[in-house]
Structure 1
Amino acid sequence: MLKIMLRSLAVAGLAAAALTLPGTARAQTPEKVTIVVFSFPSLGAFMPPVIKAKKMDTAHGIDINFVERPPDAYTTQFNSGEFQVGGSAAVLTVGLADLRGVKVKYLFNLFDFWGTFVTSNPAVKTIKDLEGKQVAAAASTTNFVMSEFFAKKQGVDPSKMQIVNTAPPGLVGYAVANRADAVQLWEPAYTLLKARKPDIRILDTKMAATWKSFAGGERIPYLGVAAHTDWIEKHPTLVPKLYDTYKEAGEFIAEHPEEAAALIAPKSTPEQRTALVSLIKANERLGMNVAPAGEMSKQIEAVYKVGIDVGYFKSEPSKDTIYAKPMK
């Protein structure tokens, strides 16, 4: 009996000692990751509140600190390396960073592209009517650049639009107050705007037909998560954990739209909340599509060609900007 007791005490002591080993402690502590994102209602701010409220990050062994920045500051601080990981990473900004000598990679996609021009001005009936008119836009965003591309394909001369530049959160206010002839914006801002101003109209850019003709496909990789190459090399195991976290968030949002909408837009009105739920359920304009960059490399390269077409790029970015390793 005494031998059994001593053996049990020894086993317990070894177990307790193991818990105090540095390696074991590190394994139990989620690794911290800081991710810079745009402010709501931008898409980059769509999943973070769900991830944090449901503790999806810590469930996958990471602890994400989301930091919000307006577009200009986001680009500057991400490209400089002040922030090593970006959660509002548009495909075009990743390509532009590469051409400027910043080594970054598009890790995985979160949303496919959807953007539009809206108006309540009776004099503006078609996209061509925007020439000579005031258009409120977050001009530094790639959603605006992409929308310029589709407008250009419909015969619009973008240089003839009088652009009133503002940050994304201000776009809805411009549309509600009719402070410009038209506003360029995207989801979920459009859905929230439509709930407040039902008479707002979309100007058709024939996006689907144009993209099929230009790229031969339907999906347009638009916004996801990117990171500096040196950060990826130092933290190779964190990339799959980030992907799994966002993948779970996307699945939760799709499966629980009512609960997700309350987390994403807690200050919204009941009408806006209902509209947001409908947006999630349909997903046509939201375009939520969490997928590894390596699985959509051809589509990403087509988006790079858009950058050349509109003069955003002088040459095509390197294919090394597309993270090709599997997420498992």
Structure 2
Amino acid sequence: QGAYRADAGTDVVADILFFRKRRPDEEAVAAPWLGLANVATGAEEGETVQVNRWFADHPELVLGRHAIGSGPFGRTYTCLPLHEDLEPSLISAIAGLPAAIYCAKAGTIDFEPEDEVVQAMAERPDDPSIREGSFFVGEQNQLMQVVDGVPIAVKVRSGKSSDGVFAKHALVIRKLIPIRDGVRQVLKLQERDQPWQKAQVSLRIAWSSFVREFGPINFTSVSTTEDQETGEVREVHRRPNLAPFLDDPDCWLVASIEDYDLETNTARPGPIFTERVIAPPPAPVITSALDALAVVLNERGHVDLDHVSELLHRDVDDVIGELGEA
């Protein structure tokens, strides 16, 4: 506990595991680390806590003291530090592990992708916002999704087949894609301080088309169930228009663009349709030739001494002299 406090601001307990791959001719043996065992905490007489059997059998590999702490769901296991600096203890524990116990045969790895992968990658748009999980429409008007870095066709159910997504869900996804792309375009233009009004119009058209066919993006159906024994009533909220799109990393960005009223089941366009929602980039502060050079490199991607001198309102020779002394 506390090992990650300085770097990540958390007191989680971490297990560092080293595994050796079993050789093809090696039989499987008993794995005690698959079980649990009780160990004493030392805080109170007779107080024990369950830990992995491996750590119970090898206390020298526990870089702290077993303890019971308080978590969000009540009492939970923790490991209290014995020293402030864990690095020496960690290095010592790792050094005690077996060495040179696996001798793999040297082999070659074929890095050439399969033809199917090459063909699939050609379908992927050259757009950094299309990332793992993103849906998009391919070159042949095929609904696609990026899975494990590779675009694959989304299967749509037909007949009595249970393989793939429902046809209606595929239509919902297709209608949400231009909305997602429209939101991204508006945000990108506003971030770059470029005209974005036309992009807002395109976004409104895509959103209106979706609402006419399927209703609000955030359409929510509420159902209640009552526990017969306790009488507890539970509400279940379902969002049928968002559910098919949940795998897309921009799902909740799309959901955020409309103001939805659960009571009336109506939605109206949010601020992104008419307003600026991203502040303009601040003007660069230029006080030296190095500042001006950094601005020019950011804007043009190469050194332009004439432009540097314009930003500083100075001669090119003076700029070169200052840069040479920097």
* TM-score, normalised by the number of residues in structure 1: 0.20
Bigger relative contact order (CA 8 A; separation at least 6): 1
Larger Rg: 2
Structure 2 length-normalised TM: 0.20
* Structure holding more helix per residue: 1
